[in-house]
Amino acid sequence: MRFGFALRLMGKAANAPILRESAARAESAGLDTIWVPDHIAIPPDQTEGSGGRYLDPLASLAWLAAATKTIHLGTAVLVVPYRPALPTAKVIATIQELSAGRLELGVGVGWMEAEFRAVGVDRHTRGRITDETLRFLRGAFAAVNDETTSKGQPFVFRPNPPRPRIWIGGGAPHALERAALWGDGWMPMTDDPKNLRSNAQELRSRFAEAGRELPEIAAFGAIGHEVLEADLDRLAALEEIGVTEYIQGARYEDLDGFMRSLDPLTERIEAYRAH
């Protein structure tokens, strides 16, 4: 099982020194991935915890790619309906190219009505837009001779590095269906093995029916608050049901707060791998 950390792109922690140092320490600790969220237009009455301050996820990952060397860089998750398919595909391909293949593309359909109004997209079309964009993305990265089409116009899709792994965020059943169609795996917002077990089994069945390899599953949680044995048991149960990456989430406003979540995570990882 791989391990990642969800960096905060919001509020006081969303600044260059904390982001750069957090990414560097996560990489030095041997983590596999750092992940960033996506909000594009927080309404004034929902700014608690962020002050309405959110950095753009793709721009942030492009910047972090230059500040790191080996750690993978992921969106958790990029809200696909907020962005037009072709320009988004170009940014994704550019980050993947310049990071030497370290991008992890977590995607979702979104939920905040105010943000959909701000970008001028009907929230009820978010599933269809997401599927259309994912179809375009997969087609562009798989294009023969890098030639693909958008809105009836043929063009050359370059750079065209290896396609990043696509994680589908959200709950069952829609996210499971979408993951089997367009993704490489599923990204649920929980680390409770009991809640994940049946959905993980359904996801494996869907992948098998489609003739595909076993799916990736990334679980979000926050280990380090319970006793060591309880955390190790949770990780073992998650791996047993097919979770391939555990992502540590935390609320923090400064580097000390970040380290108070990173340190117990690395302790658990060392103990788990030695278990």
- Domains of the chain, by residue range, sit at 2-274
- How much is the pLDDT for 160? 98
At residue 78, the 3 state secondary structure works out as strand
- How much is the pLDDT for 76? 98
> Which tokens is 43 given?
């309404």
pLDDT at 14 over 90: yes
pLDDT at 50 over 90: yes
Q: What's phi and psi for 220, nearest 5 deg?
A: -95, 135
> Mean pLDDT throughout 140-157?
98
Q: Which helix (H) or strand (E) holds 186?
A: strand 185-187
> Mean pLDDT throughout 39-58?
97
What is d(CA 250, CA 258) in angstroms, rounded to the nearest whole number?
7
Residue 42: band (very low, low, confident or very high) from pLDDT cuts 50, 70, 90: very high
- How much is the pLDDT for 82? 98
Residue 225: band (very low, low, confident or very high) from pLDDT cuts 50, 70, 90: confident
Q: What's phi and psi for 148, nearest 5 deg?
A: -140, -170
What is d(CA 66, CA 74) in angstroms, rounded to the nearest whole number?
14
Query: If you count them, how many residues does the chain have?
Result: 275
> Mean pLDDT throughout 143-150?
98
**pLDDT one-digit tens code per residue, 184-213:** 999 999 999 999 999 999 999 999 999 999
Contact 175, 168 (CB under 8 A): yes
What is d(CA 26, CA 266) in angstroms, rounded to the nearest whole number?
9
At residue 7, the 3 state secondary structure works out as coil
pLDDT at 226 over 90: no
Place of tokens 């319970």: 226
147-159 burial: b if 16+ Cβ within 10 Å, else e: ebeeeeeeeebee
Residue 29: band (very low, low, confident or very high) from pLDDT cuts 50, 70, 90: very high
Residue 275: band (very low, low, confident or very high) from pLDDT cuts 50, 70, 90: confident
Q: What is the mean pLDDT of the chain?
A: 97
Q: 2-274, what's its fold?
A: TIM Barrel (3.20.20)
Query: Cα 78 vs. chain centroid, distance in angstroms?
Result: 7
Q: Which alpha helices (H) appear in the chain, and where do they start and end?
A: 16-28, 57-67, 85-98, 113-119, 126-141, 174-182, 193-209, 228-240, 255-274
Residue 207, C-beta contacts closer than 8 angstroms, at least 6 positions apart: 180, 213, 214, 215
At residue 139, the 3 state secondary structure works out as helix
Percent helix / strand / coil, the chain, rounded to 5: 50, 20, 30
